[in-house]
Chains A and B, each alone.
Chain A
Amino acid sequence: RKEVEQDPGPFNVPEGATVAFNCTYSNSASQSFFWYRQDCRKEPKLLMSVYSSGNEDGRFTAQLNRASQYISLLIRDSKLSDSATYLCVVDTYSGAGSYQLTFGKGTKLSVIP
């Protein structure tokens, strides 16, 4: 089983739509969770961290379900500028003060006018 799994998409949605991405992770010892955004031919950038209680940043809402080892990202009122690949990222402590980020392969979103 892959460590972090995402639906690769693409998700093609009209402007203004609500879209949700899901991600599952295999390591129950994982400590921290993130969504990164990667534009075409650019580097990944942190979009938001994901907290157990869920968190919201404007149009973006992230949820974590530790029991099911499941993370979600909801984007409301999609904008053309939201078109990108969204990477689910899990941070796992691997001992001796060592943490390691494991990236999913990403879900591609295209917002259509």
Chain B
Amino acid sequence: DAGVIQSPRHEVTEMGQEVTLRCKPISGHDYLFWYRQTMMRGLELLIYFNNNVPIDDSGMPEDRFSAKMPNASFSTLKIQPSEPRDSAVYFCASSGAGSDTQYFGPGTRLTVL
């Protein structure tokens, strides 16, 4: 089975540009999570969905960040406009109902110049 798929794997952009990160969870998983990892702050939960519905977005840093899950097999995390401090690795993870185990995608390494 394919694991969690994320694209792009690397993104370099200039400050002020819009960035869209994409995620395909493991088929059949009900939960989808977006995380951000930096050296300073570690791994932080940004938002998560249950059955395509956002449950908790308290970790989204500010209005520049938005996430959608239009169907069970696709989610996006958008940053508009991007800033250098958004540079980080963004992970998507999914888990099945009744399971505590989260399966992470390979991440998107974002650099904002």
Contacts and interface: CB of A to CB of B under 8 A. Distances in A.
A86 interface: no
B56 A44 contact: no
Chain A interface category by residue count: 20 to 34
A98 B45 CA distance: 13
Given A42-B106, A43-B105, A100 B42 contact: no
B56 A100 contact: yes
A43 B100 contact: no
A10 to B, nearest CB: 14
Interface in B68-98: 91
B55 A46 contact: no
A44 B105 CA distance: 9
Contacts, number: 42
Please tell me the size bucket of the interface on B: 10 to 19
Contacts of A105: 41-43
Given A43-B91, A94-B56, A98-B56, A104 B104 contact: no
Contacts of A94: 56
Most chain B CB within 10 A, of A34, A43, A99, is at A43
A87 B43 contact: yes
B107 A98 contact: no
Interface in B53-69: 55-56
Nearest to A91: B100
Given A98-B55, A98-B56, A44 B104 contact: yes
Most buried by B among A44, A45, A97: A44
19 contacts: A34-B100, A42-B106, A43-B91, A44-B91, A44-B104, A45-B104, A46-B102, A46-B103, A87-B43, A94-B56, A96-B55, A98-B50, A98-B55, A101-B102, A103-B42, A103-B43, A105-B41, A105-B42, A106-B42
Q: What are the 3 A-B residue pairs with the smallest beta carbon separation, nearest first?
A: A105-B42, A43-B104, A103-B43
Interface of B: 33, 41-45, 48, 50, 55-56, 91, 100-107
